[in-house]
C-alpha cells in the first residue's frame, strides 16, 4: 500500500512462536488432498462464466493443482522459492526503460536527475501485466509505480526540498512500459524498444465519461475539465479484452495540502489540514495545494486506460467507473458481450464496486472499443447477513441520489461516489484490495485488514466483516445469480487469514494450510490457481498478531479445496505486488515493492541500506523495487 501514516497499525500483543512447525504440520495433513486432474484450457484473456481466467491459455498438465513443496516462512533479505525453482531480478527502479537515444544508467547514490528518472523505471512497483507479442518468447511488461520514498530517491532525502526533487518524485510515479524477451530461459529488457514508455504524474491525460467537463473538474489550468496532468499512486491494475491496461489511482488524497477546516465533502475523502502524508509537492507545484485549487483532487481517484501498443496514446481517465481510492480493476465479459469491471476501494470501511458497460465489446481492438468504458452503470455491493447480496446502482435520480441530496447530475454522483454509496446503504468493508475471478466464476476480493473494526465510534462487525480488530484480513467471494451483470449474488468467505498459534482467538483465522496475514494481491492463473500476495505493514509485521509470520509472502490456493500453500517469501521490509505470466504458464513475473521499508515509511537518507540492500546486495547500495522472474529449473509449468 502507499504510505498512509494515518493507517499505521498499533497492535502490541506478545510475540508468538515461529510458524515453521505449523506450516510443515498442516502441509503433511493436506498434501494428499490437493485437487487432481485440472486440465489447461484454451482461455481468452478475460473471465466469462463459461470459462474464466485472467491469463492466457497454456499447455496441458494432469498433475495436482498445487504441485510444489511449500516454502517455510523466513525473515531475511532474499527471495525464497520452492525447491526446483529459480528466480531472476529484472527491471529494478532506476534502470532505463529503453527509450530511443536516451538510456541513462542508474546511479546508486540516487543522483539521477528528474529528466533521467523520466527515462527510467519508477519506484515502488505494483500491478503488472505481460502483453504477449511473440507468444511466450517476448512481449511488453506494463507495470505501476505506486509511490516514492524520498529518503531513497534523492541524495540527502528531502534536505533540502527543491523543485527539482518534486519533479523527480513525480517522474518516479506512474507506469512503465518495457519490452522483454527471453533467451535460453533468461529474460532481459530490450533496449532500445519502440514500445518503451514512461507515464508519470505529469503526463497529459484525457478525462472520459459523465464527469468529463463537469464544473467540479475545472481548474485554473484546465477550463474545460477534460485535460489532466498525470496519474498518481497507481496501485493494482487490470486488462481489457481489447488489449489495453487499466491502472488505478489509490491514495491520491495524500498528495494534497488541505485547508485548516475541510468542508464535509473534503473530509469524507480524507483531505486533512496541511500535508499529513508529507509528500510536500505543493511547496513547488501549487496545483497540489487544494486550498488554492479545490477541484484538483477531483481529477484523481480514477481508473486510467492505457494502450501499451501505441506509445503516443493519450491515457484516459474513465470517470464512468467512479471515483475511489481505487485498488484495482478486474474485467469480466458477459455472455452477451458486455464488459464488467470489478473494483475494490482500499480504505477502511469503504466499498466494493462493479461497472457494467452499456454497449458490447466489439472485435477490432482498442480502436473499436475506445469509448466502451465511458457508458454504463456503476453499482456498489451490499452483503446481506444471509449469504445473499445485491448490487445497488449509482444512478442519478434513482433512490436517494437526487438534487435534493446534493447530487446535481450523474457526474457529481461519480465524483462523490463515497457519499452516494453511504446513502444507498452499501456494506462498509475491511479495506477491499485486489479482485480475481476463478475458473468457476467465483469472484474473490482480498480484505486486507481493519484494526478499527469494532473500535469505539466505528462500525461493528457484520456478516461479511466478522472480526473486530481485524489485523489478519480475509478473502470474501461471491457468485453472481446468472451472469456477471446480475444485480444479486451469493457470497461466502474463502478464508479468514491468520495463524493457528496466535494467542488472540480472533487472529487464529481459518487457514487450511500455511499461515498468512493481510492478503492484498490476488491473481488467478490459467490453470485456476488463486495466487495470494501479502502486505503486512512494516510497522506491524514483526509484533502482535503478525509476529512469527516472517516477511511478506506469495501463496497459492486451490479454489476447490481451500488449501493455501506458501510459494515465495520476499526480502525484508517488502510487500509482494502484482503477478502475471507468459501464455505458456512457464514464466511468472511478480513485483517486490519497497524492500527495506522502515516502520515509518521513510528511509534514512544517510543510510538507505540500513534495513535492506536487495536486490543489488551492494554494501552501500539502496534497496530497489524490482520485478522477479520465477521459473521451474526444468522449464515446467509454474506452480506444478
Query: Which CB sits closer to Ca ion, 347 or 556?
Result: 347
Q: Which does 307 bind (CB under 5 to 8 A by kind): Ca ion, ligand FEO, none?
A: none
Query: Which of 9, 249, 250, 296 is close enough to bind ligand FEO by CB under 6 A?
Result: 250
Query: Which CB sits closer to ligand FEO, 149 or 433?
Result: 433
Closest distance between Ca ion and the C-beta of residue 578, in Å? Answer: 9
Q: Which does 485 bind (CB under 5 to 8 A by kind): Ca ion, ligand FEO, none?
A: none
How far the first Cα of the chain sits from its last, in Å, is: 30
String of contacts with Ca ion for each residue 203-222, x by CB under 5 A: --------------------
Query: Which CB sits closer to ligand FEO, 54 or 254?
Result: 254
Closest distance between ligand FEO and the C-beta of residue 346, in Å? Answer: 3
Among the residue ranges 158-166, 404-412, 520-528, 610-618, the one whose residues contact Ca ion (CB under 5 A) = 520-528
Query: Which of 506, 520, 558, 597 is close enough to bind Ca ion by CB under 5 A?
Result: 520
The answer to whether the peptide bond before residue 160 is cis (omega within 30 degrees of 0) is yes
Size of the site for Ca ion (CB under 5 A): 5
Closest distance between Ca ion and the C-beta of residue 448, in Å? Answer: 5
Query: Which of 1, 413, 429, 439 is close enough to bind Ca ion by CB under 5 A?
Result: 1
Instruction: Write out the three cell numbers for 622.
Output: 539502496
Closest distance between ligand FEO and the C-beta of residue 254, in Å? Answer: 11
String of contacts with Ca ion for each residue 388-427, x by CB under 5 A: ----------------------------------------
Query: Which CB sits closer to Ca ion, 350 or 520?
Result: 520
- Name the nearest CA neighbour of 168 among 179, 155, 181: 155
Instruction: Write out the three cell numbers for 98.
Output: 529503453
- Binders in 287-316 for Ca ion, by CB under 5 A: none
Closest distance between Ca ion and the C-beta of residue 489, in Å? Answer: 24
Per DSSP, helices labelled H in 39-136 are 114-117
Per DSSP, helices labelled H in 484-529 are none
- Name the nearest CA neighbour of 578 among 540, 513, 625: 625
CB-neighbour burial class of residue 198 (10 A; exposed 0-12, middle 13-18, buried 19+):
buried
How many whole angstroms separate alpha carbon 351 and alpha carbon 633? 42
Q: Which does 146 bind (CB under 5 to 8 A by kind): Ca ion, ligand FEO, none?
A: ligand FEO
Beta carbons of 334 and 340 less than 8 angstroms apart: yes
- Binders in 433-492 for Ca ion, by CB under 5 A: 433, 448
Per DSSP, helices labelled H in 255-400 are 264-268, 365-368
Closest distance between ligand FEO and the C-beta of residue 448, in Å? Answer: 7
Query: Which of 116, 146, 296, 485 is close enough to bind ligand FEO by CB under 6 A?
Result: 146
By DSSP bridging, strand 316-318 and strand 204-208 are: parallel
Query: Which of 150, 275, 327, 563 is close enough to bind ligand FEO by CB under 6 A?
Result: 327
- Binders in 436-475 for ligand FEO, by CB under 6 A: none
| Residue 535 interacting with Ca ion (CB under 5 A) | yes
- Binders in 413-442 for ligand FEO, by CB under 6 A: 433
| Residue 343 interacting with ligand FEO (CB under 6 A) | no
Query: Which CB sits closer to ligand FEO, 321 or 526?
Result: 321
How many whole angstroms separate alpha carbon 292 and alpha carbon 314? 27
How many whole angstroms separate alpha carbon 101 and alpha carbon 112? 17
Beta carbons of 154 and 182 less than 8 angstroms apart: no
- Cα angle at 363 between 359 and 369, to 5 degrees? 45
Centroid of chain to Cα 143: 10
DSSP per position, 158-204? TSS--HHHHHHHHHTSEEEEEEEEEETTEEEE-SS-TT-EEE-TTSE
Q: Residues for the chain: how many in total?
A: 640
Query: Which of 346, 350, 483, 525 is close enough to bind ligand FEO by CB under 6 A?
Result: 346
Instruction: Write out the three cell numbers for 345.
Output: 476501494
Beta carbons of 130 and 580 less than 8 angstroms apart: yes
How many whole angstroms separate alpha carbon 513 and alpha carbon 295? 48
| Residue 4 interacting with ligand FEO (CB under 6 A) | no
String of contacts with ligand FEO for each residue 503-522, x by CB under 6 A: -----------------x--
Taking the CA of residue 153 as centre, how many other CA atoms within 13 Å lie in the half-sphere pointing to its CB?
32
Beta carbons of 17 and 501 less than 8 angstroms apart: yes
Query: Which CB sits closer to ligand FEO, 334 or 593?
Result: 593
- Name the nearest CA neighbour of 436 among 54, 93, 111, 124: 54
Query: Which CB sits closer to ligand FEO, 248 or 378?
Result: 248
| Binding-site ranges for Ca ion (CB under 5 A) | 1, 433, 448, 520, 535
| Binding-site ranges for ligand FEO (CB under 6 A) | 1-2, 146, 235, 250, 327, 346, 433, 520
Amino acid at each position: 500500500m502507499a504510505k498512509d501514516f494515518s493507517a499505521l497499525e498499533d497492535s502490541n500483543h506478545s510475540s508468538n512462536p515461529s510458524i515453521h512447525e505449523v506450516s510443515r504440520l498442516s502441509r503433511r495433513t493436506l498434501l494428499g488432498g490437493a485437487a487432481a486432474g485440472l486440465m489447461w484450457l484454451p482461455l481468452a484473456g478475460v473471465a466469462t462464466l463459461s470459462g474464466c481466467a485472467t491469463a492466457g491459455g497454456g499447455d496441458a498438465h494432469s498433475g495436482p493443482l498445487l504441485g510444489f513443496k511449500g516454502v517455510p516462512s523466513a525473515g531475511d533479505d532474499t527471495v525464497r522459492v520452492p525447491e526446483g525453482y529459480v528466480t531472476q531480478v529484472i527491471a529494478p527502479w532506476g534502470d532505463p526503460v529503453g527509450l530511443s537515444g536516451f538510456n541513462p544508467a542508474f546511479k546508486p547514490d540516487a543522483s539521477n536527475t528528474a529528466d533521467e528518472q523520466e527515462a527510467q523505471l519508477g519506484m515502488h512497483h505494483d500491478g503488472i501485466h505481460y502483453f504477449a507479442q511473440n507468444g511466450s518468447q517476448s512481449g511488453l511488461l506494463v507495470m505501476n509505480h505506486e509511490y516514492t520514498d524520498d529518503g531513497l530517491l534523492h541524495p540527502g532525502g528531502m534536505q533540502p526540498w527543491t523543485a527539482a526533487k518534486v519533479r523527480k518524485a513525480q517522474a518516479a510515479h506512474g507506469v512503465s512500459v518495457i519490452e522483454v524477451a527471453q533467451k535460453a530461459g533468461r529474460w532481459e529488457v530490450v533496449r532500445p524498444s519502440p514500445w518503451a514508455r514512461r507515464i508519470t504524474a505529469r503526463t497529459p491525460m484525457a478525462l472520459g465519461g459523465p464527469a468529463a467537463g463537469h464544473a467540479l473538474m475545472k481548474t485554473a489550468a484546465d477550463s474545460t475539465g477534460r485535460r489532466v496532468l498525470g496519474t498518481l499512486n497507481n496501485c493494482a491494475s487490470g486488462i481489457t479484452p481489447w488489449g489495453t491496461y487499466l491502472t488505478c489511482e489509490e491514495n491520491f488524497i495524500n498528495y494534497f495540502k488541505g485547508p485548516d477546516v475541510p468542508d464535509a465533502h473534503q473530509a469524507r475523502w480524507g483531505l486533512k489540514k496541511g500535508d499529513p502524508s508529507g509528500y510536500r509537492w505543493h511547496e513547488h507545484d501549487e496545483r497540489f495545494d487544494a486550498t488554492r485549487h479545490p477541484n484538483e483532487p477531483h481529477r484523481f481517484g480514477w481508473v486510467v486506460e492505457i494502450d501499451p501498443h501505441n506509445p503516443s496514446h493519450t491515457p484516459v481517465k474513465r470517470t464512468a467507473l467512479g471515483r475511489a481510492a481505487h485498488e484495482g480493476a478486474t474485467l469480466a465479459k458477459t455472455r452477451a458481450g458486455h464488459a464488467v469491471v470489478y473494483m475494490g476501494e482500499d480504505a477502511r470501511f469503504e466499498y466494493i464496486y462493479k461497472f457494467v458497460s452499456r454497449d458490447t465489446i466489439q472485435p477490432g481492438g482498442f480502436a473499436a472499443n475506445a469509448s466502451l468504458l465511458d457508458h454504463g452503470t456503476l453499482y456498489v455491493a451490499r452483503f446481506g447477513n444471509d449469504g445473499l447480496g445485491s448490487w445497488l446502482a449509482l444512478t442519478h435520480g434513482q433512490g436517494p441520489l437526487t438534487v435534493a441530496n446534493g447530487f446535481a447530475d450523474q457526474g457529481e454522483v461519480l465524483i462523490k461516489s463515497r457519499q452516494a454509496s453511504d446513502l444507498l446503504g452499501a456494506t462498509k468493508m475491511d479495506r477491499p484490495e485486489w479482485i480475481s475471478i476463478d475458473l468457476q466464476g467465483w469472484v474473490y476480493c482480498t480484505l486486507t485488514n481493519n484494526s478499527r473494526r469494532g473500535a469505539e465510534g466505528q462500525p461493528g462487525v457484520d456478516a461479511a466483516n466478522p472480526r473486530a480488530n481485524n489485523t489478519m484480513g480475509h478473502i470474501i467471494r461471491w457468485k453472481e445469480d446468472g451472469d456477471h451483470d446480475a444485480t444479486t449474488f451469493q457470497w461466502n468467505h474463502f478464508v479468514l487469514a491468520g495463524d493457528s498459534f496466535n494467542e488472540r482467538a480472533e487472529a487464529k483465522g481459518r487457514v487450511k494450510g500455511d499461515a498468512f496475514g493481510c492478503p492484498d494481491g490476488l491473481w488467478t492463473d490459467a490453470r485456476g490457481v488463486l495466487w495470494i500476495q501479502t502486505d503486512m505493514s512494516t510497522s506491524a509485521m514483526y509484533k502482535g498478531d503478525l509476529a512469527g509470520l516472517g516477511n511478506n509472502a506469495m501463496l497459492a490456493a486451490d479454489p476447490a479445496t481451500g488449501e493455501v500453500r506458501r510459494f515465495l517469501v520476499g526480502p525484508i521490509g517488502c510487500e509482494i505486488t502484482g503477478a502475471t505470466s507468459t501464455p505458456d504458464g512457464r514464466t511468472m513475473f511478480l513485483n517486490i515493492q519497497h524492500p527495506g521499508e522502515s516502520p515509518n515509511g521513510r528511509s534514512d537518507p544517510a543510510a538507505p541500506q540500513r534495513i535492506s540492500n536487495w536486490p543489488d546486495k551492494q554494501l552501500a547500495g539502496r534497496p530497489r523495487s524490482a520485478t522477479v522472474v520465477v521459473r521451474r529449473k526444468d522449464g515446467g509449468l509454474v506452480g506444478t
